[in-house]
Amino acid sequence: MSLRKLDVVIVGAGFSGLFLLHKLRSSGFSVAVIEKADQLGGTWHWNRYPGARCDIPSLQYSYQFDEDLQQDWNWSEKYSAQPEILEYLNHVADRFDLKKDIEFNAEVISARFNEEKSLWEIKTSQGEIETKFCVMATGCLSAPNTPDFKGLDDFEGQLLHTGKWPQTQVDFTDESVAIIGTGSSSIQSIPVIAEQAKHLYVFQRTANYSIPSNNGPMDPEQEAEVKSRYPEFRKENWENGFGIAGMAIEEMAVEDDEQGRKEKFNHHWENEGLGFLGAYADLMLDKEANEMAASFARNKVKEIVKDAEVAELLSPKFTIGCKRLCVDSGYFEAFNRDNVTLIDLNTNPINCITSKGLMAGQEEYSVDSLILATGFDAMTGALTRIDIRGRKGISLKDQWKDGAKSYLGLGISNFPNLFTVTGPGSPSVLSNMVPSLELHVQWISQCIEWMRDNNKKVIESTKAVEEEWMTLVNEVADLTVYKSCNSWYNGSNIDEKAKEFLPFIGVPPYTEKITEVAEQNYQGFVFDKTN
Ligand code: NA7
């Protein structure tokens, strides 16, 4: 097979990769997207589990780079389900004629920087490519975490992972089903599976907070209102810390009286989903304020769940929002059904998986299907699982062994001309992902264009700026309650991973910073460094 030569290789055909392809191709670069799956969609291709949907309203969880696109597309629900989001991405790909430059069923096996040529050598399952730039649009939650349960291979029933759901319809009718994990994926899927299955066993290690989505058909009046002023609507979101509308409140919970807090929490519980945490400005800054919101949410669980013992087990004990907050459609209500049983893994740990099911505590649960809803090696896993080698053959996995260091979540020292979209050190998972990735795509494309126009061949971050930036990322997190529990924000869900806080908190200051860096000719990065 002949060696292909390109300006840019983009890894991943999700939201980021598609927009990157459109941007860079429009600027005259030769580009290809390399995609492991047999179709586009990224997260929205892989996460097809029942009940999968976005938890940021679709009018915001969508591209804004093209006004005609955002005017033409109509979402059918407030929070769209996975099939509709995938349909949207296919529409975007067709509208901008993207598919012809996407190589499907091609997995990147290795990416090596050739220092002599200043080129990346990319080896995929389909062939080899030499490229000036490599952009990793691999997603923050795309490397599934499969815990090393003893006997997992012995299970003879249907084994599923929510993050790698089959494309064929999975029907649980008349089945006994076990699901391990109670994060967002499980919380979304449990109400749907419970309606189908004969019996559903939920194995919980940590009870989680979840806010009702109050999802429903798109309100035509609201849609028309947003569309009548879409650019301004988007601009307002950029001014919010999380890049999400409806969270820009300045009042403090600790300064309000009990009645005021009750009313406000109730309003946000019933209307805002993730924006529940925006009820007051101090919820993620002050432990006392946070506990007020947490105790409100715990009381809600006790109001919904009829069995007091089950309600207690489902009541989270940690700081609200410190693990990714979940948004559901009937999660706690599902535990009022006779065919749903909750098993507390703290008192009944999983001993092993058997051919028929699993042993937890002293009991064996025989099931037809076993679902692992055990999350992802978040933010870094999709990168470290590829053999990426920079200067002097240094592997990214080794370089990040004691912690992922990146400048602005965009560039990594020793890895010249390699960019990451929503990489560690950027707001990414603590923001509305679609605008955040669009911001990165715009920044990266402009940088590559600027280099072409200014005769620069190589751009690279340095250890010094990365240290400084990641220190700031952690200092900002220290001002909040985000570090007060185990979460995938800080690597604690993966045993062998460095425990460090990865996302930068605060969309407006971050946007200001990267804009300023670009305006000052990519301040902090070095160009054309010799070996
Ligand atoms: P999450 O949020 O990481 O949830 C994973 C769940 O799996 C969580 O409840 C974990 O418990 C549990 N888990 C993980 N490993 C184990 C083991 N070994 N034993 C028992 N339970 C385990 O992943 P999701 O896929 O639900 O959501 C990811 C994001 O996708 C979500 O936030 C949205 O942004 C979309 P733990 O809490 O660690 O005790």
Average pLDDT of adjacent 10-residue blocks, the chain of 531 residues:
90 98 98 98 98 97 98 98 98 98 98 97 97 98 97 97 97 98 98 98 98 97 97 89 71 96 96 94 96 98 98 97 97 98 98 97 97 98 98 97 97 98 97 96 98 96 97 96 94 91 95 98 89 53
Instruction: Enter the pTM of the model.
Output: 0.97
The answer to whether the beta carbons of residues 352 and 341 sit under 8 Å apart is no
Check pocket membership of 141 for ligand 1, CB cut-off 6 A: yes
**Beta carbons within 8 Å of 241's beta carbon, 6+ residues apart:** 247, 505, 506, 507, 508
How far apart are alpha carbons 113 and 46 in whole angstroms? 29
Helix-strand-coil split of the chain, %, nearest 5:
35, 20, 45
Q: Where are the alpha helices (DSSP H) in 5-155?
A: 15-26, 43-46, 67-72, 82-95
Q: What is the dihedral of CA 78, 264, 481, 430, to 10 degrees?
A: 20
Which of 322, 507, 494, 522 is closest to 422 using CA atoms?
507
pLDDT score recorded for residue 248: 56
The answer to whether the beta carbons of residues 209 and 316 sit under 8 Å apart is yes
Distance from the alpha carbon of residue 375 to the mean position of ligand 1, in angstroms: 4
**Which tokens sit at 164?**
């790698």
Rg (CA), the chain: 23
* Strand extents, DSSP E, 150-302: 158-161, 176-180, 199-204, 210-212
Which of 356, 310, 317, 316 is closest to 334 using CA atoms?
310
Check pocket membership of 144 for ligand 1, CB cut-off 6 A: no
* Top mutation candidate among 61, 152, 185 for ligand 1, by most atoms within 8 Å of CB: 185
The answer to whether the beta carbons of residues 528 and 456 sit under 8 Å apart is yes
Distance from the alpha carbon of residue 373 to the mean position of ligand 1, in angstroms: 6
pLDDT score recorded for residue 240: 81
Check pocket membership of 403 for ligand 1, CB cut-off 6 A: no
The answer to whether the beta carbons of residues 478 and 465 sit under 8 Å apart is no
How far apart are alpha carbons 342 and 447 in whole angstroms? 51
Kindly state the DSSP code that residue 37 receives in the 8-state scheme: S
Residue with CA at minimum distance from ligand 1 atom 31: 184
| Alpha carbon separation from 424 to 14, 19, 125, 428 (Å, rounded) | 18, 20, 27, 8
Chain mean position to CA 433: 7
Q: In what order do the strands lie in the sheet with 363-366?
A: 350-353, 357-360, 363-366
Check pocket membership of 16 for ligand 1, CB cut-off 6 A: no
Distance from the alpha carbon of residue 95 to the mean position of ligand 1, in angstroms: 36
* CA-based max dimension of the chain: 71
Q: Which residues pair with 412 in a beta bridge?
A: 415
Question: At 81, which amino acid appears?
Answer: A
Q: Specify the ligand 1 atom closest to the Cα of 162.
A: 25
Check pocket membership of 206 for ligand 1, CB cut-off 6 A: yes
Chain mean position to CA 242: 14
Distance from the alpha carbon of residue 138 to the mean position of ligand 1, in angstroms: 20
How far apart are alpha carbons 366 and 356 in whole angstroms? 5
pLDDT score recorded for residue 354: 97
Check pocket membership of 324 for ligand 1, CB cut-off 6 A: yes
